[in-house]
Structure formats: structure tokens, C-alpha cells
Amino acid sequence: MTENQENSNNDLMEQHPHSESNKNSTSQKNTHDHKSLDYVDIILSRKGTKVVDLETLVKETQKRLWAALKQGYEYESTIIDESERFLRDLVSSRVNMIVLYVDLVGSTEITLSLPEEKVAIIIRSFAQEMSSIIMQHDGYVLKFVGDAVIGYFVAEAMPLLATDNAVNCAKAMVTVVEKGMNPILNQYDYPELKIKIGMDFGQNIIVRYGADKEKSHVDILGPSMNIASKIQNTASPNQILIGDDVYIRLHPDIQKQFKQVVWTQTNWKYHDRETGRLYPVYAYVG
């Protein structure tokens, strides 16, 4: 992902707005901003069968990727539609969420070493498989940006569960790429895929660009969108990085799987408004 793509919300504040400072304003605006939506009902009413055991995810991914490469299999194109419908009901609202960026590493090598039609199939399959994993973990797919996928997990009714889901989603993504997609690509002597994942928690606002309630583009703007992108950009191949506001909401058993990253001012410059210190970031170590 390019630097311009990461800074789609223009200049990023170098101070991270700690979630605690937003608690009062969030609670006061929930009733009005969220238009009395029951987030639990929304999550439970979502269609589709959730299959989150990794063995099944890996096998299903291999079937689809093999079919795409060998038989021209086409993925469904309705993944983003569900997110758009959800966001249109919340235009101008502020919503707590975990934002997840997953980016493909080494796409230039793939582009230079394979025919264009094969590159298109691989990139498309990657984006669709990552999107499917997001939805399997009760997340929404916001959009595709180049060879990256942006997802989000609504954290209003059940923030702790949503946070655990987001982290488990990221872990599943790495597993599916390593054990699902790469073995199929190896059969064709295609380059292996690697990914970088970053995420952060925070309050974001839903915006609509235009007056048409049905057709105007809807998007999410907010600090955690920017911070998640920056966190992802610093990750190593096949690494998962999370911001402190994600980490503190994880189950203690999952927290044990992460280790705080030691930053210097040269490679991470974003500060917590509460403490004035560098905003902590944690790496998944298993």
C-alpha cells in the first residue's frame, strides 16, 4: 500500500486519542448517534454460516483458489454490500470499532513474474479470502485499497468479544495464507504470499459523500482508521500488530500471546494524549 493510500484521511495527528478520554462523550451520544439500533440483534441477524475452525477455513480456501486458477471460478461480489447497508443507517453517527488493515506483501514480485491474468486471479482471490475471514468473525469489509483489505468490527454492544474476534480473525488470515493459499500456489511454481496486519480500537464517524441516501459513497473517518494503517505499515511480513486500545480489551489469555514492541522515535512517533508517551503497540508472538 502506498503512503498516499495510508493517509487517505489527510494529515494524521501525531497524538493518539486514548479511548478513555472519549468515554463520556461516547456514552452521551450513543442514544442519538446510533438511532436506537440494537447491535446485538444486528450481529445475530446476519446471514451466512460462520465457520471459524482453521482446518475448515484452510480447506475451503484451497478449493476456491484451485478452482479460480484452474477453472476460472468467480467469487461472489456482495461482500462489501453488507457493510454499505450497515453504514448507511449510521451516517453522521460515531461508532466504537476495531479497524483492521491487511496488506499483501511482495505484490510487485508477483506482478513481474506472472502473466497479468494470473496476477489478477491471485490478487482477487487474496482479497476475497481475507474478506471472507473477516465476515466469518462477525466483522464487516469496508473496502479494497490496491492490494489491501480494510475491515472493521463493531464494538458497541460487546466490545470485548468484538476485540477477541478481530484478533482471532487476524490470526486466521495468517494461517489461511500460509497453509491454505501458498500450498496451492506452490503447485504452480507461483510466488508465495505474505501479509502484514495492523489494527486499532477507537471511535470513528460514518460519513456520506453526497445527498443521495442510497447511492452516495459512504465511508468511515477517524483516528483509529489512520493509526491502524500506520501500525500495519510498520509490520514485518506475516506479522500481526495491535494498538494498546485493542490490547487492553483482550481476554487475559489472548494478551499473553502478545509482546510490546520497543519503538524508537525514528520508526514510531505517535503519542498517547493521556500519557504523552509513545502509543504502545503489541506484536503477536503466539
Query: Rounded to the nearest 10 degrees, how much is the dihedral formed by the CA atoms of 44, 47, 53, 54?
Result: -130
Mean pLDDT for all residues in the chain: 85
Residue 212 has pLDDT above 50, yes or no: yes
Beta strand pairing call for 94-105 and 148-154? antiparallel
Q: Provide the pLDDT for residue 51.
A: 60
Residue 251 has pLDDT above 70, yes or no: yes
By residue count, the chain amounts to 286
In tens, the pLDDT along 89-119 reads 999 999 999 999 999 998 888 888 899 999 9
**How much of the chain, in percent, has pLDDT values that exceed 90?**
62
In tens, the pLDDT along 47-74 reads 555 666 889 999 999 999 999 998 877 7
Q: Please name the residue that has the C-alpha cell 438511532.
A: 35
Could you give the C-alpha distances from 40 to 114, 153, 214, in angstroms and in order? 45, 13, 24
- For 97, phi then psi, to 5°, come to -160, 160
Q: Please name the residue that has the C-alpha cell 511480513.
A: 237
Q: Which is higher by pLDDT, 104 or 26?
A: 104
Q: Provide the pLDDT for residue 40.
A: 58
Residue 22 has pLDDT above 90, yes or no: no
Half-sphere exposure of 153 (CA within 13 A, CB side): 30
Question: What is the Cα–Cα distance from 163 to 254, expressed in whole angstroms?
Answer: 10
Beta strand pairing call for 281-284 and 258-260? antiparallel
Q: Provide the pLDDT for residue 269.
A: 86
Domains of the chain, start order: 19-284 (3.30.70.1230)
In tens, the pLDDT along 137-177 reads 999 999 999 899 999 999 998 999 999 999 999 999 999 99
pLDDT band at 3 (very low <50, low <70, confident <90, very high): very low
- For 127, phi then psi, to 5°, come to -60, -40
Q: Provide the pLDDT for residue 43.
A: 58
Closest CA to 283 of 176, 154, 196: 196
Question: What is the Cα–Cα distance from 103 to 5, expressed in whole angstroms?
Answer: 12
Asked if residues 232 and 103 have their Cβ atoms less than 8 Å apart, the reply is yes
pLDDT band at 34 (very low <50, low <70, confident <90, very high): very low
Closest CA to 105 of 191, 22, 14: 191
pLDDT band at 271 (very low <50, low <70, confident <90, very high): confident
Q: Provide the pLDDT for residue 39.
A: 60
Question: What is the Cα–Cα distance from 168 to 105, expressed in whole angstroms?
Answer: 20
pTM: predicted TM-score of the whole model, two decimal places: 0.83
